[in-house]
Amino acid sequence: MNLRHYAVFASIICICFLQPTSTATAVTVPKSPRKTTEVWVYEDASNPWNGKSVEKVDADEVLEAIQAFLDISTKQIHDGNVDLAALASMETQLYEHFYELVDLAKDQQSATKVANRIFELNASMQVLLNLLTAQRKVSVAGGGDDAASLEDPFGDPPMLSDEFLDIYDELVDHGYSASTFAKWKDMAASESSPGAALEVIASYMLFQPNPVDLPLDLPLALQYLQEAGTASALVLDAIVRLAVYRNETNDSVLRTYASMNFLARMVLAHRIYTNQTRALSGDACEEAAAYYYTSADESVQDMVDAGGEKDVFEPMLRLSDAWMGKFIGDDFLEVPSSGSEALHYVRSLAFGGHLDAVHRLGEMHFFGDPQAGLAPNPHEALRHFEQAAAGGLVHSLANLGLMYANGMGVEANPERAVQYFQQAADQGNAFAVNGLGFMFWTGQGVAKNATKAVEYFKKAAEMGHADAHQYLGAAYMDGDGVDRNASRAFYHYEIAANESNSRQAQFNLGIMYYNGMGTDRSCARALHMFRDVAWRAAFFDDAMLAPDLAYANYEKGDIPRALLHYLVWALVGLPEGAVNAGFLLEQQRVSLGETAPLALAKELYTMFPIDAEALRKLGHCHRDGWAHACDPANASTALAYYGLASAMDDSEALYSAGVLHAMRGEWDHARAAWTRCKAHEFPDNVPCLAPALAMEALAWIEYFGTWVDTLVEQVVTRV
């Protein structure tokens, strides 16, 4: 396992709205008294009367208004005459102007007339957006009442005292104590930021598992969030109310804080894209993509700040799989991958001289492991890599090259980094070959040589190092070391995104889809890329909403809190969150709001029609006639949902379809479903083995019976 390093390439430019997408033909009609033009738009040239009249704004007027906004806003920021509230308002107006550019770019006449101006303004707006983001960070870091009210909700707020945070750690590590909790609650009022303190207390009450001593008191926790009054507390309050009470009036809170709050932005983007709330611009994909782009950019920056991507990205565990025992192995053979058990296991092997374990221990120190209480420590990581490298471990040599190149845990020394990379590359290490390419690409420790860098990247790619395709994509995008070729750039970015664990690669590919660079423009594909990257942001590792904490609630029997976790994740747009919440609603018949459990489960499954488990569960709903959801039962509808899930190779849907066909006496269909299910790999095919074999046996019995009947008939005929 190797550390990853990703550069943020200058070749990946800002989101640009220059790409015209409308193919409608417009015929100008007389102007109205307003500052707009009425145009007749139709799609079918053979039937122009089959169209509609729409308002078209004057392009020059829109562009002049945007230019004035940019000039005034930029001057105000540089003069320092804006507070956080003004910055938030300014960013909201900026997004509205982005959408205006989208509309102009979609109109072929406007796009042709003012194409260069649109492009220039879009670039200027991107610069202003970056300026706004930087200024907001400065304002928050600078302190003051506004800064205190806009801090992130789940981290350790810097204005909280060590004593307050120590009690939090004690409650989490050693369990709830009524006296300790009461003391903690009393301390909140004396903190320099009482609102931030109360917010942390409310978050603890909402998400930390404790089914016996501190059952979930949702009204009280929401009351604390309201009393806290911080922006992040109000966002969390709105999201919980949306998740539990389905109160759509809380969308306005999300819109207010989306520009500065990651969680608000993610939930709002999902709700806009799935048409659960109105898109202000009229284009749900474009508006949601803008939010996801911002969140994805933050996620990539998280990765860069951490020094690289973790080797393993594990999606949220599905409760149905855990319940079926699909991930339960032999305790004597199972190797822990994270947490304190993994740390103790790796340490024991490392102390015994196991070089791979020494290397793994270095990785754990480099990235940190919150579950094991291990903070990132590049100095400790360097020590372990040096020990493993001295023992002859090649990938430790390569990692030393990375650390010396970037000055992580040691003073930067590019020349020595090149030496380490060369030693590892000479022994066939693809990561090191890619590292040499990076050194020539940037001119660190060697003379800058883009042509030679590309040669190394190509060699690393041929050796199976998927990350090398990312650099090749940048090379073809910029024309560095090779002729510029957007199609080849897209080709390499796509491989990097599909075959590596790289957020940067997915982000780059999303931008190319969005701009139609080297491929056809696709807002939907770009959005999916940005969304997947955003889901991996550090926010979700550090927050009380971390997937591992959700599962811990489930394991400890705190079903209400586990359900709340998964309902919030469903709002963020994660299918696993929705199906896990549905699983709890089905199995436990527990509900936090007024909606009947099975009715809410059906609603959640319906929100994710691209998820096989969700489709299968909708089949169960109609098969069994769930009360308040799918009653009366309808076998035909159930089979239709099973068919959709089966098309995604869902073995359980095939099994259920076979059972339902058999109950209806449709034996051929049952046999076909079970036979397809049986062809799946173990253990997915286990439920279908017996019925499939039984059907095969029945087929042989029928064949043998027919053969006997035919033989008897022939004998009788001869007699």
Domains of the chain (ranges, CATH numbers)? 25-142 (no CATH), 634-719 (1.25.40)
Mean pLDDT of 299-316: 74
Q: Tell me if residue 369 falls in helix, strand or coil.
A: strand
The pLDDT score that the predictor gives to residue 694 is 64
Report the sign of the C-alpha dihedral through residues 411, 415, 416, 417, in that order.
positive
Give residue 414's pLDDT: 94
Residues 658/675, Cβ–Cβ less than 8 Å: no
For range 508-522, the mean pLDDT: 93
Helix, strand, or coil (residue 383): helix
Token pair for residue 403? Answer: 């650390």
Radius of gyration of the chain (CA): 30
For residue 638 the two structure tokens come to: 């159930």
What is the structure's pLDDT at 592? 87
Average pLDDT value for residue range 503-521: 92
Categorize the per-residue pLDDT at 113 as very low, low, confident or very high, splitting at 50, 70 and 90.
low
Predicted local confidence at residue 217, as pLDDT: 95
pLDDT at residue 522, as a whole number: 95
Q: Note whether 227 and 255 are within 8 A (CB).
A: no
More confident residue, 468 or 305: 468
Q: Are 232 and 150 in contact (CB under 8 A)?
A: yes
Distance CA 616, CA 605 (A): 9
Query: Which segment of 299-308, 463-472, 681-690 scores lowest on mean pLDDT?
Result: 681-690
Residue 8: pLDDT above 80? Answer: no
Q: Say what the pLDDT of residue 35 is.
A: 45
**What does the pLDDT average to over 221-242?**
95
Q: Among the listed ranges 58-62, 126-130, 234-238, which one has the minimum average pLDDT value? A: 126-130
User: What pLDDT, on the 0 to 100 scale, is given for residue 73?
Assistant: 81
SS3 349: helix
What's the average model confidence in pLDDT over 311-319?
Answer: 72
3-state secondary structure (DSSP) of residue 522 = coil
Q: Is the dihedral of CA 429, 436, 357, 386 positive or negative?
A: positive
Sort residue 557 into left (φ over 0), alpha (ψ -120 to 50) or beta.
left
Whether 12 has a pLDDT exceeding 70, the answer reads no
Helix (H) or strand (E) holding 25: strand 25-28
Q: Report the pLDDT averaged over residues 536-562.
A: 85
Instruction: Using alpha carbons, select from 601, 572, 539, 578 the residue that is nearest to residue 318.
Output: 578
Token pair listed for 541: 């590792």
pLDDT of residue 543: 66
CA atoms within 13 A of residue 573's CA, in its CB half-sphere: 25
pLDDT at 151: 42
Measured CA to CA, the distance from residue 94 to residue 90 in angstroms comes to 6
Residue 540 has pLDDT above 70, yes or no: yes
Count of alpha carbons within 13 angstroms of residue 1, beta-carbon side: 19
Q: Quick one: DSSP state of residue 249?
A: G
Asked if residue 295 has pLDDT above 90, the reply is: yes
For residues 531 and 705, what is the distance between their CA atoms, to the nearest angstrom? 59
- Is the predicted pLDDT of residue 410 greater than 50, yes or no? yes
Distance CA(527)–CA(113), nearest Å, equals: 29
Window from 44-53, 228-237, 257-266, 645-654 with minimum mean pLDDT: 44-53
Ramachandran area for residue 521 (φ above 0: left; ψ -120 to 50: alpha; else beta): beta
Cα–Cα distance for residue pair 152/88, rounded to 1 Å = 15
pTM given for the model: 0.70
Share of the chain above pLDDT 90, in %: 45
Q: What gap in Å lies between CA 27 and CA 42, rounded to an integer?
A: 9
Alpha-carbon gap, residue 341 to 296, rounded angstroms: 32
pLDDT tens per residue across span 139-153? 544 444 443 344 443
CA distances from 42 to 29, 124, 457 (A): 13, 34, 50
Instruction: Give the burial class of 321: count Cβ atoms within 10 A of its Cβ; 0-12 exposed, 13-18 middle, 19 or more buried.
Output: middle
Helix (H) or strand (E) holding 53: strand 51-57
Q: Which of 73-87, 141-155, 343-357, 472-486 has the highest mean pLDDT?
A: 472-486
Cα separation, 336 vs 224, whole angstroms: 38
* C-alpha–C-alpha distance, residues 613 and 590, integer Å: 20
368 three-class SS:
coil
Model pLDDT, residue 685: 66
**Band of pLDDT at residue 349, cut at 50, 70 and 90:** confident
Element (H, E) at 37: strand 36-42
pLDDT at residue 660 tops 60: yes
pLDDT at residue 427 is higher than 80: yes
Structure tokens at 640: 């239709």
| Residue 301 token pair | 């920056």
The residue whose two tokens read 């090779």 is 482
* Residue 324 banded pLDDT, cuts 50, 70, 90: low
Q: Write down the pLDDT at residue 323.
A: 73
Query: How big is the chain, counted in residues?
Result: 719
More confident call, 568 vs 373: 568
What's the whole-number average pLDDT of the chain? 79
- Report whether pLDDT(631) > 60: yes
SS3 assignment, position 51: strand
Q: Is 57 left (phi over 0), alpha (psi -120 to 50) or beta?
A: beta
Q: Per-residue pLDDT averaged across 342-368, rounded?
A: 83
| pLDDT tens readout for residues 257-291 | 998 899 999 999 999 999 999 998 889 999 999 99
Q: Are 26 and 39 in contact (CB under 8 A)?
A: yes
Supply the pLDDT for residue 22.
31
Count other C-beta atoms under 10 Å from residue 53's C-beta. Answer: 9
Closest CA to 473 of 87, 7, 16: 7
Query: Do 384 and 361 form a contact (C-beta atoms < 8 A)?
Result: yes
Cα 625 → chain centroid: 34
Split at pLDDT 50, 70, 90, the class of 83 is: low
User: What's the pLDDT band for 88 if we cut at 50, 70, 90?
Assistant: low
Q: Over 70: is that where the pLDDT of 491 sits?
A: yes
702 Cβ neighbours under 8 A, 6+ residues apart: none
Q: How confident is the model at residue 526 (pLDDT cuts 50, 70, 90)?
A: very high
Segment holding 57, helix H or strand E: strand 51-57
Contacts for 625 with CB less than 8 Å, ≥ 6 apart: 631, 632, 633, 634
Q: What pLDDT shows up at residue 274? A: 93
| Residue 604: band (very low, low, confident or very high) from pLDDT cuts 50, 70, 90 | very high
User: With bands split at pLDDT 50, 70 and 90, how would you rate the model's confidence at 590?
Assistant: confident
Query: Is pLDDT above 70 for 581?
Result: yes
CA dist., res. 35 & res. 535, Å (int) = 43
If pLDDT is split at 50, 70 and 90, which confidence band does 601 have?
Answer: very high
